[in-house]
Structure 1
Amino acid sequence: MYRGLVRAVMAACAVALTAACQPVRPSPGPEPAAPLAAREWTAQSPAPEIAAWAWQGCQRASGGAGPCVERALVSLIDQAGVGKSMEVLDTLAGREPVVKALAHSLAHGLGISAYRSPETVAQTFAGCPASQMSGCYHGVVQGYFLDLGAKGQSIDRTVLDGLCAPHGDQPFLYFQCAHGMGHGLVTVHQNHLPMALEACDQASDAVVRESCYGGAFMENIVNALHPHHTAAGHAQTQGGEHVQHASADAHPADGSHDAHAGHGAASGHSEWKALDPADPRYPCSVVEEKYQSACYNMQSSPVMQWTQGDLEATARMCAGAPEGMRLACFSGLGRELTAWMAQDHGRSIEACRRVGMVTGSREQSWCLVGAAETLINQTADARDGIRFCRAVDGAEAKRECYEAAGRFMRSLVATPEGRAEQCALAEPEHVASCRQGAGLDSSASGDRPAAGRQLASGQADLHPPIHRSTSDR
C-alpha cells in the first residue's frame, strides 16, 4: 500500500510541478497603486472574505500575483493559523487559474513558514490539510530540516526515525511526512542529490526510505527547473523571520545552481549535475538501482517540459527504461498528464490512449493507473479516482484502475465499512476489483498486507505534477 501511495504522491507533486510549467496568463490590467489594503478581517472571518481581500490587492501586483498571494497567506499564519491560511489558498485556487497553477508550491511555502520548532513539528504537521496535493505537509518537514541545518545539528537515524513516528498509525500522513523528508534533505545538502539519498538510507523503515527517495528526486527537479519554488525561493519571496534560514541556499539568477558548491568534494562526493537535457533518462541512468524506481517515476516531469509536452517523445523515453522500471515511469507519465490536461478526465484518458498507441496496452493501463492515483491524491478522496475509472474504456483497463483506486483507499479510509461504501460507487461488474485493492476480500492479493507499515505494491509515489508558471517560460 505504501509503495502505491509513494507513486501517487510523486504523481501529485509532479502534477504541481507540471502545473507550474503550464503557461498562466493573468488578467490584463493596469499596475495597482498599492498592493494590499489594510486588513478588515479577523481570525474568525470566513475564508472567502479573506480570499477576496488578498486577491483584490494581488491580482495586478507589479511583482506578479503569485508572490503577492504567498506573502498575504503567510501573514495570516500567526493570527489565524496554518489551517485557515490553507483554507484561503484553497478558495483562491478554486477561483483564480493563476493561483491554481501555483497552489502546491504556495502550500509548500505556507508549511515552511508555519514551522516553529522541533518540539511542535508534529503538531504543526498534523494541522495541515491534505489539499493542494499535500504541499503544506511537505513544507513543514522542509522547515524542520532547514532549522536543524541552520543550527548545525546532526541529522542521523534517530532524527529520521523520530520525525514521522507520531504519524505511524495514519498511513497517509506517515507517507507525506517521509516524502517531505526527501525535499528537506536535498535542501540541507545544498541540492546534492546523492548525499540526500544517502541520508534517506539512514531511516530504519523501508517505507520511509522509499518515500524519502521520491521527495528527493522531486526536489532535485524543482531546484534545477524552478528554483523560485525551492525553500530558498520561498524565503526570498516571503522575507519573513520564519524562513530566513533558507536564504543561504539561494541560487544565482543565471541558473548555475546544479553543482554542490564544493561541499560534495569536501565530503568525498563529486560535483552533481541535477538534470541533463541531452540524456532524458539522467539521473536515473546513473544512480544506484535501489533509487531508480523513485527516479523514473519522476522523470517524465522534466522530459515533458523539455519537449514542450511531446507525449510521444516522453512515452519513448519511458519505453527505453530498464524493464523493471517501466511501470514506475509510465505511471509517472499518467500523473504528469493530469496536469497537462488540466485534470480533465476525458483528455487524460485520451492522452493515455495515445501512449498505448506508441508503446502498447500494458503501458496504457499503467498510464491510466498513474492518472487515477494522482486524482485521488490531489483531494485525498478515493471517490475522485472511482469517477475517473468509470470513464475509462476497456474491461482490463477498468479492472486495473479500480484495483488501484482501492489500494489507495486503504491509506485514506480507516474502516472496512467505509472502504466498502466507496467501492460500492464503482460500476457493478468492477466492485470486486475495487474491493480486492481495498483489502476487503479474502481473494485480495495475499502478499499485500491490508494495513500497517506496508502499503500495497503497485501504488504510486504521490508527487504532484510539476507545473511552470509564467515566470518559468
Structure 2
Amino acid sequence: MVHSSQMRRVMYQLLALGVLVAGALLVAQVSPQVKTSDYKSIPEMKDILSDDQTTRLKATRKLAERVGVEESLEILEHSSLPHTGEGHLAVHQIGFYAYQTHGLDSILHCRDYFLFACYHGAIIEAATDQGFEAVAQMTDKCKQFSTRYFQCVHAAGHAILAIWGYQNLTDALKTCDDLYAKETQFPEAVSSCHNGAFMENLFGVHDWETGREAERTWLSEDPYFPCNGVDDKYQKGCWLNQAARIYQMNKGDISKTAELCQKVGDPQHTTWCMDNLARQIHPLTAGDITRSFSLCGLVGDAWREHCIVVNAGAYYSVGGREEAIAICRRVVPETKEKCYQTILGQILSDTVDPQEKGVLCQKLEYPYVNACMSQLYSTAQN
C-alpha cells in the first residue's frame, strides 16, 4: 500500500520532532551558535527554500561548499527549511559533501538535524564509494559515546534500506547482520540497525517527491505487518516502530493504537509496541510536560506510568534535560525509581562535560541525587 502524500507529510513531521527511536538516542552536541534571523541573509537561502527539488538540492550543496559542513548544518537548522522529507533530502547534500571532504571521518562532522540526514548522506556516499564495509568503519568512529554510536548505526539502517530499495527489506536486514552482529562492545548495535531499516520502510523518506512512488512491498493494511512476516531476530527492531504504523492507520487515535498494541499476543512485543506509542506521544506534547501525563492517560491504566517514563527519556534525548527531570519529580511515588533510573543512565552517557553532569545530578530528588553523584564519580575513576 502507498500512503497519501498528506498523511506521510504529517507523520514525517511527528517523527522529525521526536527524533525518536532505537533504544538510545543522540543527545545535544556542541555546535556553532547561529541566530535564528541570520539565515535570511544567506545568499543560497532563496533557492534552498524553493519549491523545486533540483534547485533546492543544488543550493544546499553550494552552501556546504561555501561555508563547510558544520556551519551549513547550523544555518539550515535555524532556518525555515521544513523538517520534512524536503528538508531531509536537502541536508543529504551536506552529508555527500562531508564524505567527499572528510572521508570516513565525515560522520563526526554531522549533527542530528533533519532526522540525521547528514549521517544518511555520508553513509550512502561511503557505501556507494567503498561498499557496505565502509559503513561499519564509519560508524565505528562514533564509539566515543554510546548514545552517538547507536544513532550512527540507526542512521546506517536507514541508509542501507535506501540503497537496497524499499522492496528489499530482508536484504537490508541481512546487511545489518553482516555489519553488526559480531559487535561485542555494543551488542545491541545490530538491533539499532534493524530499527533504522524498519523506520525507513515505514516513512519512505528517500523516495520523497522524486516524481515516482516506490514499490512498498513491506507495508499492508495488516496492523502487525511486517513484524509478523520477518524472522524472530528482527522482532525488536520491527515492534519498536510498529506503533507508528498502527497510529498512522488509525488516523492518530492513541487509544485505538494502544488497544491494538495490547492485543499482539506476545508480552514482549506488546512492551516494544507500547514503548513506540509513547514515543509517538512525546512530540505531540510540544514541550508541555503536562500533556505527557494527559496523553499517556489515553493508553490505559496498565501502561500509563510506563508511557510517562518513556516520555521523560524522550525529552532528555532531544535536549530537554530539565523537562525530563521535571517529569520524574511529578510521577507517583511508585514510578519514581523507574523514572530516575531512566534519566540517570542518560546523564551518565551524555556527551556533556562531567561538571555539567554533576549539575544535572544535583537537580534530582533524594536519594537519587546521591546515586547519580556516586555513579558519576565511579565512572570518572575508570
TM-score normalised according to structure 1 size? 0.64
Q: Note the residue ranges of structure 1 that are not aligned, 5 or more in a row.
A: 1-14, 23-43, 224-228, 237-249, 259-272, 443-449, 452-473
Flag the structure with more relative contact order, 1 or 2, with Cα contacts below 8 A and sequence separation at least 6.
1
Q: What residue identity is the alignment partner of 2:69?
A: V
Q: Distance in 2 between matches of 1:182 and 1:80?
A: 29
1:401 aligns to 2:339 (yes or no): yes
Following superposition, the deviation at residue 189 of structure 1 comes to 1.3
Match of residue 196 from structure 2 = 215
Q: Distance in 2 between matches of 1:154 and 1:132?
A: 25
1:75 aligns to 2:62 (yes or no): yes
Alignment match of 2:14 (pick from 19, 26, 29): 19
CA contact (8 A) 1:333 1:370 kept: no
Distance of aligned partners of 1:72 and 1:424 in 2 relative to their CA distance in 1, 3 Å threshold: farther
Q: Distance in 2 between matches of 1:139 and 1:329?
A: 29
1:169 aligns to 2:144 (yes or no): yes
Q: What residue identity is the alignment partner of 2:277?
A: L
Match of residue 172 from structure 2 = 196
Following superposition, the deviation at residue 212 of structure 1 comes to 0.7
Match of residue 92 from structure 2 = 109
Q: Deviations over 1:174-194 (max 9, x none)?
A: 222211111121122112111
1:348 aligns to 2:292 (yes or no): yes
Alignment match of 1:424 (pick from 341, 344, 362): 362
Structure 2 residue matching 1:75: 3-state secondary structure:
helix
Match of residue 283 from structure 2 = 339
CA contact (8 A) 1:137 1:176 kept: no
The percent identity for this pair of structures is: 23
CA contact (8 A) 1:16 1:339 kept: no
Following superposition, the deviation at residue 20 of structure 1 comes to 6.3
Alignment match of 2:260 (pick from 317, 331, 335): 317
Match of residue 180 from structure 1 = 155
1:56-75 alignment, distance < 5 Å: 57=46, 63=51, 72-75=59-62
Distance of aligned partners of 1:102 and 1:425 in 2 relative to their CA distance in 1, 3 Å threshold: farther
Distance of aligned partners of 1:305 and 1:80 in 2 relative to their CA distance in 1, 3 Å threshold: same
Following superposition, the deviation at residue 111 of structure 1 comes to 4.5
Q: Deviations over 1:235-256 (max 9, x none)?
A: x7xxxxxxxxxxxxx6x63x45
Q: Note the residue ranges of structure 2 that are not aligned, 5 or more in a row.
A: 1-9, 18-31
Aligned residues: 350
Q: Deviations over 1:269-297 (max 9, x none)?
A: xxxx22112x1111111211221111111
Q: Which structure dedicates a bigger proportion of its chain to helix?
A: 2
1:72-471 alignment, distance < 5 Å: 72-92=59-79, 96=80, 99-100=82-83, 105=88, 109-117=92-100, 120-132=102-114, 134-145=116-127, 147-148=128-129, 154-155=131-132, 158-191=133-166, 192-202=168-178, 203=180, 204-205=182-183, 206-223=187-204, 229-230=205-206, 232-233=207-208, 253=212, 255=213, 257-258=215-216, 273-277=217-221, 279-321=222-264, 322-357=266-301, 360=302, 363-379=303-319, 382-390=321-329, 392-413=330-351, 418-428=356-366, 430-431=368-369, 435=372, 439-440=375-376
CA contact (8 A) 1:115 1:140 kept: yes
Q: Distance in 1 between matches of 2:288 and 2:73?
A: 24
